[in-house]
């Protein structure tokens, strides 16, 4: 929701609610907090925040950007999944899923992993692969060089070497992708 965020207030839960913030020309034209208790519930406070946001947007002639429904978003909606559910399956943040859905750069490997997730082919807990596992899957299962894997993942060549030597933490979605390839759930043949 553009202009509205959830404010849980962990230090004082009774003040939890929704925050409306709108900017125009680099200045806040709306900055108001809608407490759940004051509006007799979370959904009513959210509705009040939405009405206030819409009124302020009209008053200050603020145009919201339209949501772009890319093929990834449409696939996720068709599967009945939320961004948070996909993010959990891929071991990424919901924000990254949102970025991918809005047309942000998505590596070929992440795209195939996303499609496997919406088709229900990814199951189980997040894997914890070691560098030796990444090297084995890359070399034996895929038959790829480090450069080919780096290109598929959208990472620098050096990163793959660091992961394989255990010098850097392997990103969650890369572990999920490599595990899915090892189990035959995703094909590495994108080229």
Domain boundaries along the sequence of the chain: 4-59, 70-191
Q: Which of 83, 182, 179 is nearest to 128 (CA)?
A: 179
Question: Residue 172 and residue 93: Cα distance in Å, rounded?
Answer: 10
State pTM to two decimals: 0.62
In tens digits, the chain (191 residues) has pLDDT values of: 678 999 888 888 888 999 999 998 889 899 999 999 999 999 999 999 999 999 999 999 988 876 666 888 888 888 888 889 888 888 889 988 988 888 778 888 888 888 888 888 877 667 788 989 999 999 998 899 999 999 989 899 899 999 999 999 998 889 888 988 888 877 766 54
DSSP for 41-73 reads SHHHHHHHHHHHHHHHHHHTTPPPPPPP--HHH
Q: Where are the beta strands (DSSP E) in 68-153?
A: none
What are the structure tokens assigned to 83, written together? 């961004």
Quick one: fold of 70-191? 434 Repressor (Amino-terminal Domain) (1.10.260)
């Amino acid at each position: 929701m553009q202009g509205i965020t959830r404010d849980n207030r962990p230090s004082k839960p009774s003040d939890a609610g929704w925050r409306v913030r709108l900017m125009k020309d680099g200045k806040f034209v709306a900055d108001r907090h809608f407490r759940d208790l004051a509006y007799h519930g979370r959904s009513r406070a959210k509705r009040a925040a939405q009405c206030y946001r819409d009124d302020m947007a009209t008053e200050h002639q603020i145009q919201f950007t339209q949501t772009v429904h890319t093929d990834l978003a449409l696939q996720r909606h068709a599967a009945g999944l939320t961004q948070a559910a996909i993010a959990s399956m891929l071991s990424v943040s919901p924000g990254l899923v949102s970025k991918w859905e809005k047309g942000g750069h998505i590596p070929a490997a992440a795209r195939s992993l996303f499609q496997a997730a919406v088709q229900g082919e990814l199951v189980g807990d997040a894997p914890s692969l070691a560098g030796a596992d990444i090297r084995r899957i890359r070399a034996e299962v895929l038959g790829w060089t480090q450069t080919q894997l780096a290109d598929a993942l959208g990472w620098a060549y050096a990163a793959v070497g660091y992961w394989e030597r255990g010098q850097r933490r392997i990103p969650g979605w890369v572990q999920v992708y490599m595990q899915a390839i090892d189990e035959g759930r995703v094909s590495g043949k994108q080229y």
